[in-house]
Amino acid sequence: MENWNGFKKNEFTFEGRKAILVFPDDSNKTNQWLFKTEYWDAFPNLEIEMVKQGWHLAYIENKTRWCLDEDLDLKQRFADFLAKEYGLCKKCVPVGMSCGGMFAVKFAARHPEYISALYIDAPVLNLLSCPADLGVAKGGMWEEFVNATGMSLSELICCREHPIDKLPILIQNDIPVVMVYGKADTVVPYCENGAILEKYYKEHGGKLLAIGKDGCEHHPHGLENPQPIVDFIMKYA
């Protein structure tokens, strides 16, 4: 058993992919858990605080950060495995930063019965913005996206599988969302991504906490003091 920020960490292989499970202390252990959807160990302030609160933290490696269906389905099977082998709740709280936000939203829409709430941070929600850079975004990731997905620009324009297309499913399933973003983000601009979710949730009575950071670019993710995110998750999970 390895160590992660003072907590026990089990690293193993699940269906040929690297998998990680971090355990809270026995003194306050619960069966609730966070599901880091991409970028393991990036900006972990919130995850550390939640493990301190008795939550587990899980991760499984993706084939690509551009959210293939096979990765979403693998996450569902991994969640079932964690419930069976470790007694974790069926429902989790996905933690999605940047491209991880795309995973979080699409996983929640594909398997809403596995979700109690979402924490997304500078999330990629509109692929015409990032990676296509058709608006004000300046991410420069289009070639990587094409290599990962095989999609052409014409196919992406016609596609109705963007994360923003999944918002009605989140609302229908009453999935709460806490969202953090940088107001100066040019890689995944809020006006073309998170703002669409914020507007839709407000118009349809969704449970939402949106926190904008003045002068912040795409990085760093998270909050220096993650307590508002912790409070939101603890309220709804």
Domains of the chain, earliest start first: 2-125+166-236 (3.40.50.1820)
Radius of gyration of the chain (CA): 17
- pLDDT tens digits, residue range 79-135? 999 999 999 999 999 999 999 999 999 999 999 999 999 999 999 999 999 999 999
Q: How much is the pLDDT for 113?
A: 97
Q: How far apart are CA 89 and CA 114, in angstroms?
A: 9
Q: How far apart are CA 236 and CA 3, in angstroms?
A: 29
Please report the sign of the dihedral spanned by the C-alpha atoms of residue 18, residue 23, residue 29, residue 33: negative
pTM, 2 dp: 0.97
Residue 177 backbone zone (phi > 0: left; psi -120 to 50: alpha; other: beta): beta
Q: How much is the pLDDT for 74?
A: 97
pLDDT grade, residue 1 (50/70/90)?
A: confident
Residue 28 exposure: Cα atoms within 13 Å on the Cβ side: 8
Please report the sign of the dihedral spanned by the C-alpha atoms of residue 43, residue 170, residue 80, residue 89: positive
Q: How much is the pLDDT for 44?
A: 97
Decide if 79 contacts 35 (C-beta within 8 A). yes
Mean pLDDT of the chain: 97
Residues in the chain: 237
Q: How much is the pLDDT for 99?
A: 98
pLDDT grade, residue 168 (50/70/90)?
A: very high
Q: Answer yes or no: is pLDDT of 8 > 80.
A: yes
pLDDT grade, residue 2 (50/70/90)?
A: confident
Q: How far apart are CA 52 and CA 44, in angstroms?
A: 12
In the chain, what percentage of residues exceed pLDDT 70? 100
Q: How much is the pLDDT for 103?
A: 98
Across 200-212, average pLDDT: 98
Across 156-180, average pLDDT: 97
Structure-model confidence comparison of residues 43 and 2, the more confident one:
43
